Amino acid sequence: MPPLVVGLTGGIGSGKSEVARRFQALGAAVVDADDVARQVVEPGTPALNRIAEHFGSRVFTPEGGLDRACLRGIIFTDPDEKQWLEALLHPIINQHIVQQLTAASSPYALLVSPLLLETGQDKMVHRVLVVDVSEANQLARAGTRDRVEPSQIEAIMASQMSRTERLERADDVIRNEGDLSELDGQVAELHKLYLELAG
């Protein structure tokens, strides 16, 4: 495992993926919790079989894959179902994340996770980097990107840690309100810092 693991988080629509791509271009290994979450529910996996037993065919596409939009609709309106799904998936996801971080050979690695602080994944990292953006921008960006109703974005935002609390727990912050060159500058500065810390 690299000597330094940085947890990259932020609310929906904050630009975590843009930031992660820039660190990756500078040579950092990136483990994305969302990618891992997709891998552990691919057809044939034990987790997907458990989901099928619990929710039935309604959460599947005609091709037999997981219908994420349908499942998201269920868990954001039913706290008990959300709790059941998290209890199933979080331990499996965390196990895969640790495996991928252990295999990373760069001086430092990033763990990109929208729920880094909510799920205790911050225990796997040495520093927390928050990508911060106004709530108005979150709604606008996520709405454009995901083409979902504002009410669903608001439900996702409500399920995530508040912006204030997230910032209080950050070691480093990237303010993503400007243009991409501004973002590049902030990433370059932190890259330099992380290389120094990784020794």
Report percent pLDDT > 90 for the chain: 71
Query: Tens digit of pLDDT for each residue in 130-157?
Result: 999 987 877 777 766 666 677 777 777 7
Mean pLDDT of 104-129: 95
Tokens of 99: 């495996």
Are residues 157 and 35 in contact, defined by beta-carbon separation less than 8 angstroms? no
Distance CA 188, CA 48 (A): 40
At 144 the pLDDT is 65
* pLDDT beyond 70 at 111: yes
User: Mean pLDDT across the stretch 173-197?
Assistant: 95
- CA–CA gap between residue 99 and residue 86 (Å, rounded): 20
> Does residue 158 have a pLDDT over 90?
no
| Contact call for residues 85 and 92 (beta carbons, < 8 A) | no
Question: Got the DSSP string for 112-163?
Answer: E-TTTTTTTGGGG-SEEEEEE--HHHHHHHHHHHH---HHHHHHHHHHSPPH
pLDDT tens column, 66-102: 999 899 889 988 999 999 999 999 999 999 999 999 9
Q: What distances in angstroms separate CA 24 from CA 58, 141, 172, 189, one per listed residue?
A: 38, 22, 18, 14
Q: Which pLDDT belongs to residue 145?
A: 66
196 versus 158: the higher-pLDDT residue is 196
> Would you call 26 helix, strand, or coil by DSSP?
coil
Domains of the chain: 4-198 (3.40.50.300)
**pTM for this structure?**
0.86
What mean pLDDT is predicted for residues 17-33? Answer: 96
Q: How many CB atoms lie within 10 A of CB 132?
A: 18
Torsional class of 15: left (φ above 0), alpha (ψ -120 to 50), beta (otherwise) = left
